[in-house]
Amino acid sequence: MLPLDRLWFHSARARLFRWFMTEVVHEPLDLILHASAARLKWTGFALCSGNIFFWLVWTQWLPQPFESAPVRFTLSISGLLFLSNSINRDVSSRWSVWTFSLVCFVSMPVFFFWMYWMNQGNAVWLASVCGMLLIYYNLTDWRVATIGSCLGLILGCAFSYLMAQETLPLPPENLLAIGFAWVSAVLLGLSSANLRRTRLINTLSTMAVMAHELRTPLATVNLMGDVLRTLARNDVPEGKRKKIEELSTRLQNLVRSMNRQIDTQISNAQLLRLPREQSPVMAGDLVSEVINNYPYRSTRERDCVRLHIQEDFCFMASRPLFMQVITNLLKNALHSLASASTAPNPGDLRIDVGVHRGKGRIAVSDDGVGIAHEQQARIFEPFFSTQAGAGNGLGLTFCKNVVEAAHGTISVHSVPTMGAVFMVDLPIYRDAH
């Protein structure tokens, strides 16, 4: 039985490690759950009115051993931040996210644990702490809430000791009640994260099905192009033949472009379930193949792309998925050039393959419109797009996931109106043979 038990132990440890990496390390942080301007305004209103209301309750109606009007007033004022346009105009901006996180951290775990000890751990503040934990986990990511609650417990105890010069121990019954509320809050936070992930997977899967269904009418259009080309070769005047062949070529180019978009959407549907199969890939060959097969809209667009292989390298990755990564970066760069005021010139889009600081690097540079500084930190987030009314905000998220699956990193450097550089850095694979 010993080998079986050891096998079960290693299997359980592997599953636990995989869960930890997936749920805790790699899962993106949602510092504001269900972020919206209305949610921030209601939270701000609750902070403003709630602190004033409970200060009146605990001082006039049900007096408690300790209350602090200055602290209550400060917390009430902090709620006004959530009502201001600077916060709720863009709830996903870095300023809004960190302001929300800091205010919630101070006004909930720090304040409530401090009041719990200042009121000698009475029943009122025991219940208040338990309720606060459930609310806190409902407002922010469960990992942030867990760290914030632990820090709030420590800071609340430290502040009460500095003011009262004593620290009351947690009675067993209070410890049990707080522990039960804390565990319940963590489980609810985990459940909420799983529901959000399931919803995202279902959305992406629906997109993949819809994209795949478009292949049938596209195949018909492609067949029409072949029929037109065949007709042009039989008893058609030279002038009309060229026009028909040109129309046929445009139709088939359109079909290739649409099929590539379908491949992108199907790949996006694998955002959270990327295949683990990897094989050695030569960076120069992969990039050359993508450049040669890309469905350019014009000869001028094709001529603006330049490939420079300083030093080729090999890396381990899924070749089909990585081809889609380079395709996405190339497509974005061409879109940036098309959005510029001038027509693209040869060399306006450059793809460099080389080795930088011991790692392989693929850099895609363009002289297009660039990316605003406040957007650069968010372009890899799901459903965030710099192209208003175009794009679904999944392309760069897909790129990031594929690159990280190959143990690499992707970063961007951009100056607005002067272009952007996307750098993919990958560990070099050296065959032992």
If one counts the domains in the chain, the total is: 4
| 45 & 194 share domain | yes
Shared domain check, 290 and 259: no
Over the chain (433 residues), the average pLDDT of each successive run of 10 is 60 74 71 84 93 94 93 94 82 83 95 93 94 94 93 92 74 90 91 74 64 66 70 69 73 69 60 64 93 84 91 91 89 86 82 93 92 78 60 72 87 88 92 51
432 part of a folded domain: no
* 307 inside domain: yes
Specify whether the CB–CB gap between 132 and 144 falls below 8 A: no
Same domain as 176, residue 129: yes
Q: How many CB atoms lie within 10 A of CB 389?
A: 5
For residue 38, being part of any structural domain is answered with yes
Domain boundary among 181, 205, 229: 205
Please check whether residues 173 and 234 belong to one and the same domain. no
* Residue 11 lies in domain: 1-27
Asked if residue 433 is part of any domain, the answer here is: no
- Torsion sign, CA atoms 189, 148, 39, 184: positive
Asked if 312 and 272 count as a contact pair (C-beta separation under 8 A), the reply is no
* 55 falls within a domain: yes
- Please check whether residues 95 and 186 belong to one and the same domain: yes
Q: Is residue 197 domain-shared with residue 228, that is, in the same domain?
A: no
Identify whether residues 16 and 41 lie together within a single domain: no
Q: Is 417 within a domain?
A: yes
Q: Are residues 255 and 297 in the same domain?
A: no
Statement to judge: residues 125 and 176 lie in one domain = yes
- The last residue of one of the domains, among 205, 226, 257, is 205
Give DSSP secondary structure letters for 163-206: HHS------HHHHHHHHHHHHHHHHHHHHHHHHHHHHHHHHHHH
Written as one string, the DSSP assignment of 97-153 is: HHHHHHHHHIIIIIHHHHHHHHTTT-HHHHHHHHHHHHHHHHHS-HHHHHHHHHHHH
Domain boundary among 268, 293, 311: 268
What pLDDT, on the 0 to 100 scale, is given for residue 424? 95
Q: Is residue 273 part of a domain?
A: no
| Domain at 308, CATH number | 3.30.565.10
Q: Are residues 49 and 193 in the same domain?
A: yes
CB 51 within 8 A of CB 75: yes
Residues 15 and 54 in one domain: no
Please check whether residue 407 lies inside any domain of the structure.
yes
Please report the sign of the dihedral spanned by the C-alpha atoms of residue 74, residue 79, residue 85, residue 89.
Answer: positive
Whether residues 38 and 22 share a domain: the answer is no
